[in-house]
Amino acid sequence: MKIHIWIKREEAITGNITGYYTTEPVANLKDPDKYKSEYVQVQIEQDEFAALEDSEHDKWLVEQYNRNRLVVDQISNANEINK
Each residue's pLDDT expressed in tens, for the chain with a length of 83 residues? 899 999 999 999 998 888 888 888 776 566 666 666 788 999 999 988 888 888 888 888 889 999 999 999 998 888 888 75
In this prediction, residue 33 carries a pLDDT of: 65
In this prediction, residue 34 carries a pLDDT of: 64
Q: How many domains does the chain have?
A: 1
39 bridge partner residues? 8
In this prediction, residue 36 carries a pLDDT of: 63
DSSP string, 19-58: --BSSPPPPPTT-HHHHHTTEEEEEEEHHHHHHHHHHHHH
Could you list the residue range(s) of the whole structural domain that residue 75 is in? 2-80
User: Of 18, 10, 13, 17, which Cα lies nearest the Cα of 37?
Assistant: 10
In this prediction, residue 80 carries a pLDDT of: 83
Residue 79 burial by Cβ neighbours in a 10 Å radius (0-12, 13-18, 19+): exposed
Distance CA 75, CA 58 (A): 12
- Record the pTM: 0.62
